[in-house]
Amino acid sequence: MKFLFILDPIESLKAYKDTSVAIMRAAQARGHQVYCCRQGDLHWKGRVGARTVRLSLTDDDENWYRVHEEGAPSEGAPSALSSFDAVLNRKDPPFDLEYLTASWLLAQAERDGARVFNKPAAVRDHNEKLGILEFAQFVAPTLASSDPQRVHAFIDEQQDVILKRLDGMGGESIFRVRLDDPNRNVIVETMVQGGARSIMAQRYIPGIAQGDKRVLLIGGKPVPHALARIAKPGETRANLASGGRGVAQPLSAQDRRIAETLGPVLAARGLLLVGLDVIGDHLTEVNVTSPTCFREIQDQTGFDVSGMLLDALEVELKKTPR
């Protein structure tokens, strides 16, 4: 089969840890053809297409791919997205207007006959921060608001909170604010921008000391190992992009309870791959754009996460044969 991956510029991907590279390597190992394009290559002219190139993957993390055709990915021949057996959108946030526009184009590609994962409409409907609100039974005290007075009242009530933007990723624009923080006013002002920007505030969860766990759902089922991302000393953020250290570990009973509750619901909406963030016993995010941590779990446990994803993808494709 032919798989198209929508990626950030391939020269920017770090193959030794990149989840998209791990999936592409596994797909090639099964005999599938791997193609790629960038988000900006998507276009519509009678049908949704993109300039794509076919890649060959290697096991060398330094020189991990070669292009079959001459030229860079943006110079490949235009292809209709419906000509591929599956389109996997692995473009990282920010979820800005360009990302939103791409999701509209991908939705049209579905109407043209393309099979897109994760489903564009489902990605639009599940903000990665606000997605937890549907599952409030697993959520620590939380506020979503653009009103600075409400944010201050929440800090007064909870005394120790985390503030984060709704469109951030990788630990970007996350602040821990205590009741007596001398920078409290300026942090809140900067975050809500005078009431023009909604943010999320959550009670600080001490369990972060044991890691911010990434629990992966594939086809509605949990991967049996989570990756606990542990912050470096003196740092609140545990994200790997912020210098956190990843430690694979079996799912706890609560991890599994959360995963088994959310899994079938999210899968039924067209979310093949989801990354839940769990701190202590609390769900903190539902990541649906380009969930990561495959390589770390695979390397540390030997569990074939990429293989589990391809198994689930192949099952989905068989449901609607071409």
Model confidence over 121-147: pLDDT tens digits? 999 999 999 999 999 999 999 999 999
* The one catalytic residue among 41, 212, 285, 296: 285
Q: Which residue has the higher pLDDT, 95 or 215?
A: 215
Q: Is the pLDDT of residue 240 over 80?
A: no
- Of 275, 267, 172, which Cα lies nearest the Cα of 227? 275
- Is 269 assigned a catalytic role? no
Pair (226, 260) in one structural domain: yes
As a whole number of angstroms, the distance between CA 263 and CA 216 comes to: 9
pLDDT given at position 26: 98
30 and 74 fall within a common domain: yes
H or E stretch at 177: strand 174-178
The per-residue pLDDT for 69 is 60
Find the mean pLDDT for residues 27-40: 97
Active site residue 45: no
Alpha carbon distances (Å) from 179 to 161, 173, 202: 8, 19, 13
Query: Do both 147 and 89 map to the same domain?
Result: no
152-183 pLDDT tens trace? 999 999 999 999 998 877 667 799 999 999 99
Residue from 38, 51, 164, 165 carrying the catalytic annotation: 164
* Residue whose pair of structure tokens reads 């990302």 in the numeric block: 99
Q: Which of 212, 255, 277, 296 is catalytic?
A: 277
Residue 86: inside a domain:
yes
Look at residue 124 and tell me if it is in a domain: no
128 is catalytic: no
The answer to whether residue 48 scores a pLDDT higher than 90 is: yes
Q: Are 93 and 169 in contact (CB under 8 A)?
A: yes
d(CA 178, CA 236): 13
Query: pLDDT class for 236, splitting at 50, 70, 90?
Result: low
In a domain, residue 127? The reply is: no
129 catalytic per annotation? yes
248/225 Cα distance (integer angstroms): 6
Residue 71 reports pLDDT greater than 50: no
Residues pairing with 50 in the sheet: 42, 79
Residue with the two structure tokens 């409290």 = 184
Selecting among 38, 214, 295, 296, the annotated active-site residue is: 214
Distance of CA 222 to the CA centre of its chain: 15
The identity of residue 238, as a single letter, is: A
Distance separating alpha carbons of residues 48 and 42, to the nearest angstrom: 7
Q: Length of the chain, please?
A: 322
83, 117, 151 - which closes a domain = 117
10 shares a domain with 109? yes
Coil, helix or strand at residue 217: strand
Of 189, 204, 219, the position where a domain reaches its end is 204
Mean pLDDT in the chain? 93
* CATH number reported for the structural domain that contains residue 163 in this entry: 3.30.1490.20
Q: Is the pLDDT of residue 249 over 50?
A: yes
Choice among 119, 129, 203, 213 that is catalytic = 129
CATH of residue 234's domain is 3.30.470.20
The reported pLDDT for the residue numbered 233 is: 73
Distance of CA 65 to the CA centre of its chain: 23
pLDDT score recorded for residue 70: 46
Per the annotation, the verdict on 214 as an active-site residue is yes
**Is the pLDDT assigned to residue 37 strictly greater than 90?**
yes
Region 87-116: mean pLDDT is 96
Catalytic residue among 51, 287, 295, 296: 287
Q: Are 175 and 79 in the same domain? A: no
Active site residue 229: yes
Q: Is residue 170 part of a domain?
A: yes
Contact between residue 200 and residue 163 where contact means Cβ atoms under 8 Å apart: yes
State which of 153, 178, 204 marks the end of a domain.
204
Confirm whether 276 is domain-assigned.
Answer: yes
CB 6 within 8 A of CB 87: yes
Model confidence at 286, pLDDT cuts 50, 70, 90, reads very high
Question: Is 257 found in the same domain as 295?
Answer: yes
Residues above pLDDT 90, as percent of the chain = 87
Q: In which element (H, E) is residue 266 found?
A: helix 253-268
- pLDDT given at position 173: 78
Q: Which domain holds residue 159?
A: 141-204
Number of domain units in the chain: 3
Pair of tokens at residue 203: 């009670």
User: Catalytic: which of 38, 229, 295, 296?
Assistant: 229
